Structures are given as structure tokens and as C-alpha cells.
Amino acid sequence: MSDKATLEINGKKYEFPLVTGTENEVAIDIKTLRGVTGGVTTVDPGYKNTGSCESAITFLDGEKGILRYRGYSIEELAEKADFLEVAYLLIFGELPNQEELDKFHSDIKKHAVVDDDIKKILDAFPKSAHPMGVLASLTSALTAFNPTSVNVDSEEEMYNAIVRILGKFPILVAWTMRKKQGMPLDYGSSSLGYVENILQMMFKRPDEDYTQSKILVNALDKLLILHADHEQNCSTSTVRITGSSHAGLFVSLSAGISALWGPLHGGANQAVLEMLEAIKEDGGDTKKYMAKAKDKSDPFRLMGFGHRVYKNFDPRAKIIKVAADEVLSDLGVDDPILDIAKGLEKEALEDPYFVDRKLYPNVDFYSGIIYRAMGIPVEMFTVMFALGRLPGWIAQWKEMRTRKEPIGRPRQLYIGETYRPFKSIDKR
């Protein structure tokens, strides 16, 4: 194969280098395009064909259904690693040995406290506030309590910023839920594992000791690992582009949380459960909703189906489907919603509309069923996604800053009015 791509514009040829990634993916390097062509640009709404960066964190092959963090398959990580190991792997590039993992956890625990004034901010939100809005605001507000900017050339300062947010973020997550439920805020316990402590902070009642359930810890650990990174998706790109202006880590994460909130992205897990609930209330008529999803005059979409990159299957969805069966059976929960979900999946996989468009269940299709069985309220589902995605966002922000990437600033093709003279108000 040639190592160059040739572009012909108005009879003039331009050559651009081809670059190949470690998994043999090929890209055309168009860094010089505007310069050599005198301003010609590219148009690619939704960035369907645009690589925004070079990255060594996550590899995914949408045709083959492959997802790997730093070279390790998602299947192996979900089975054999825990969330904190995966967080370390994503952020620092290698699986930690026991000593490194213990130090990492101990450093995180040192920062597992937030300024008490955060409670005042939390108090100011109405009970009706969506937890994602609250979480985005609190994450951004952390900057006010930790105002020193990070010198990204200092490994020590980067490390400190990372363990700080990994310590504080679960508190914000848990408090967001407890506040909504009118429960007193809880700091958990430093004697617990990272995920165990999250569960305790979320669920411990003031009048009872909290007994850890191995089933819940394992289920949450797995869900967080499956959500931990997914290369240049909408929220991650938002984190990178926000941070590319040298805005700090916490506000970049806050921007990512806002991007994740939308129903086409992380908000889909809440939307899936609401959809399944609506189908159940409507008598369980899945055929009716399949027809609505296919009807182009109806805005309804089958939530939890389809993916920008996966066009065969989403490997995370496969793992989550099995986990949903296991968790519900281990917890002794018989949820009719699981049967509706399985019925919808079966119908969709046999329906030419979904088959032709390569629409398969994605990570969000079954995750909500597990969250619900764990006792997590529907409005918190996307917050749980954010909790899982945190190490991925951190890793991507760190990579972007340490590679000294330029500020993100896409071009456009202007299609508005050409010059027109100003009209005074009496002439309009």
C-alpha cells in the first residue's frame, strides 16, 4: 500500500501522508491541508470520519466488537480485575503491582473528604433537580475549594490532582443521591475498598450498620469497569476539548458530565428503563414499540440500541446481559422488565430494519436493570455511568495535556448571508 493519499482539487494534486496505528488502522494526516491548498477545509458533521487525536488508551474495533483498555480485553478485565486496578491502568498505562495499588488507594483515601461548605451548595438545589445537573455543578464547584492550578509538567502535581478527584468524586455522587432522598450525608469508611465505600456512602442508613453484599460489590465493580473508558465519545471529546484551553481538570470533568447527560449518550440508561417501564404499563406490547421505532414520522427510538462505532455487537452489552441474569437471580429479584428487554432484543435482532442498519443492544440496554435491582433510583443511572467513566476522562485529559495538544478549534463551512449593509431600525 502507498504511504500517501492524493487529493485533486481543481486539477491540482496534493499529497498527504498516511499514518498507521498499532492496530493497523490507517488515517490520512491532513494537518497541512489548509496551508497547501490555500484554505480548503473538510466538512464532517458529527466527526464520523475525523480522528481528533492520537491516543494510546483505548482501542475499539466496531466491526469485530473488540474493546481493549491499554491492550487488555474488556472481557478479561471485567472478569479478573477490580475497578481501582482498571482506573490505574487507564490513567498510568500499566496494571499496578500490589504495592502500587495499595499506595494509589491509600492516597485516594487521604483525599476522600470535601469542604463542608459543599453541603451548602447541595442544600441550595431543589429536590426536583436532576442528579446529573447537581453532579456537574458540584464537580465544577470543587475548583473553588481547590483553586491551585496543576503544573502538567510535574508528575507529582498531576498525580495529586488525580488522587484528589478520585477521592472526592464518589462523595459527590453519593451525596447527590442521599440529598434527593432526604437522607443525612455520609462519608463512608476508610477501612473499606473503593467500591465497597461507594456503596456504603450511598446506602448506609443512619439507624443501621451497613452490611456489605458481595453480590452488589461485584456487580457495581463490573459495571464501573465496563464504563471506564470508550475512546473519543461525546463526553470524552468534551473533556479533552475543554481541557485543551488549559481549563483545569475539575471543570473539564464537569463539562464531560454535562455532555454525558444527554439521552443519545449516557442518559440512554435512564431512558431505557423509562421506555421498558412504559412498555410494561402499556401491557407489554413490544411489537407496538418496535413499529414506533421504525416509523420515520415518529421521533421514538429504541433506547439502548445502536452505536456510532459498534456495527456488529457491543462487547459490553454481552457482558452486562449475562451479569443482569446473574445479579437478579443472586438477589432473588424477579423483574418483568428483564423479560421485556430480552423480548425486544430478540425481535430487533430478527427485524430487517435493525439488521440492515446494524443496530444492536448497547452498553445501556441492560445496565439499568442491574442498577434498579441494586436499589439505585432511575435518575441516578447516568450518575453511575459518570462514576465509571471518571478514570477514562482523567486518563484522556492527562494524555491530551502531557502530549501538549493544541487548543481544539474546528473549522466550519459558512453557509449564511454574504456581506450586506446595516439597516437602521426604522427601515427593517
Question: Which positions lie near ligand CMC, rule CB under 6 A?
Answer: 46, 233, 264-266, 268, 293, 301-308, 357, 359, 362-364
How far apart CA 363 and CA 318 sit, in angstroms, is: 8
How far apart CA 287 and CA 244 sit, in angstroms, is: 46
How far apart CA 70 and CA 92 sit, in angstroms, is: 10
Q: Any catalytic annotation for residue 334?
A: no
How far apart CA 84 and CA 166 sit, in angstroms, is: 10
- Residue 59 Rama label (left phi>0; alpha psi -120 to 50; beta): beta
Q: Any catalytic annotation for residue 115?
A: no
Residue with smaller CB distance to ligand CMC, 33 or 340:
340
Sign of the dihedral through C-alpha 217, 223, 228, 234: negative
Residue with smaller CB distance to ligand CMC, 199 or 344:
344
User: Least distance to ligand CMC from the beta carbon of 359, Å?
Assistant: 5
Residue number, nearest CB to ligand CMC? 306
Query: How many residues are present in the chain?
Result: 428
User: Least distance to ligand CMC from the beta carbon of 73, Å?
Assistant: 19
Cβ partners under 8 Å of residue 160, min gap 6: 150
Residue with smaller CB distance to ligand CMC, 183 or 234:
234
Residue with smaller CB distance to ligand CMC, 280 or 308:
308
What 3-state DSSP class applies to 18? strand
User: Least distance to ligand CMC from the beta carbon of 286, Å?
Assistant: 13
Q: Which of 130, 230, 307, 314 is catalytic?
A: 307
What DSSP line would sit under 201-225, residue for residue?
Answer: HHH--TTSPPPP-HHHHHHHHHHHH
User: Least distance to ligand CMC from the beta carbon of 201, Å?
Assistant: 25
User: Least distance to ligand CMC from the beta carbon of 272, Å?
Assistant: 7
Residue with smaller CB distance to ligand CMC, 78 or 114:
78
The C-alpha cell 499506595 sits at 103
Active site members:
307, 364
